Structure 1
Amino acid sequence: MTTRVLAGAGLLAAVALALTPTVAASAHDYLVQTSPASGATQTEQLDQVKLTFNDRVLDLGGDGSSAILRVTDASGKHFETGCPTILDTTVSAPTALGAAGAYTVDWQVVSADGHTVSGSYGFTYKPPAGTAAVPGTTAPGCTSSKATPGAAPAPSSTASTAVPTKASSDGNLGLVIGIAIGIVALALIGVVILLLTRRKPPTES
């Protein structure tokens, strides 16, 4: 009986430990901070829009071309003035805003797990009277991007407009499950050690 218990516990522990990295690696990147913040009122001219994620953003071409970061007003004009820059967990793009009003930030990046995630959020621009307004352009400010909006390796994940996004719940859930599996594995190993130490030698007749 003891031998069977030990064998079963060892097998369960091995399976649990093998599954832990798989679960942890399945979570997509998600937004943890944006500048400007979602729903914020910006009163000063911007020089960039910056997104910060929970994990490393992949720079597939080494030049930021695998990411998309666009800033548009209600009419659809673009106010990003260059291509995205990817630096570890952050993605930024140079920006100069136009007239006062509502603006939308649309983004798409390649997550650390190799999947493409995307989303958007809005903010309001209310500069002081007399502030010069940039006219904006009808075409995106970055013309060298190799990424295609909405075209993602399956399966893809689309984030909501809030920060943190819905993907953050999925990522946190994966992390919790991974930790739980690790705890179970350690507990099973503890049971094995306890059974081994409590075994008594056979009584001599």
Structure 2
Amino acid sequence: MKKIVLLMLLATSPAFAHAKLVNSDPAANSNVKSPSMIKLSFSETLEPAFSTATLTDGAGRTVPVPRSVGGATITLLPIGLKPGAYKVNWQAVGHDTHKLSGSFGFKVIP
């Protein structure tokens, strides 16, 4: 019996949570009026020095926007986005130091 318990303990590995994107506003693939804020919410507190997001337009050009990282949130503050397609590219690092990245798009409508 002791051998079985020991094998079970050795076979299990600790589960580490990663900072996964759980919500965005605007939502992925949505059509919205020009947003004054883009908010990305993650499953855990982020390491601000290693977590970021950028915004690109339909031609792939970077749109300069102020951004901040606090708690489990990355916030972008775009001003006067013109109608068209946009893409948010993000990189998130949680306390476990595992980096996750992704992107999502949305459209600004008149």
How far off its partner does 1:88 sit?
1.6
Show the counterpart of 1:143: none
Show the counterpart of 1:19: 12
Give the partner amino acid of 2:56.
T
The C-alpha deviation readout for 1:152-187, integer Å capped at 9, x for no partner, is xxxxxxxxxxxxxxxxxxxxxxxxxxxxxxxxxxxx
- Alpha carbons 1:58, 1:112 under 8 Å: kept: yes
Separation in structure 1 between the aligned mates of residue 58 and residue 4 of structure 2, nearest angstrom: 61
Unaligned runs of 5+ in 2: none
Give the CA RMSD over aligned residues. Answer: 2.2
The C-alpha deviation readout for 1:94-136, integer Å capped at 9, x for no partner, is 1124321111111112133202211111001002xxxxxxxxx
Separation in structure 2 between the aligned mates of residue 98 and residue 85 of structure 1, nearest angstrom: 18
Unaligned runs of 5+ in 1: 61-65, 128-205
Which one has a larger percent helix, Structure 1 or Structure 2? 1
Residue 29 (structure 2) pairs with residue 39 (structure 1)? yes
Residue 75 (structure 2) pairs with residue 92 (structure 1)? yes
TM-score (norm 2): 0.81
- Alpha carbons 1:79, 1:98 under 8 Å: kept: no
Separation in structure 2 between the aligned mates of residue 76 and residue 97 of structure 1, nearest angstrom: 18
Which one has a larger percent strand, Structure 1 or Structure 2? 2
How far off its partner does 1:12 sit?
4.0
Show the counterpart of 1:70: 54
Separation in structure 1 between the aligned mates of residue 5 and residue 104 of structure 2, nearest angstrom: 49
Name the CA shift for 1:36/1:80 in 2 (closer, same or farther; >3 Å).
Answer: farther
**Aligned residues, how many?**
110
Give the partner amino acid of 2:79.
A
Show the counterpart of 1:116: 99
TM-score (norm 1): 0.47
Show the counterpart of 1:53: 42
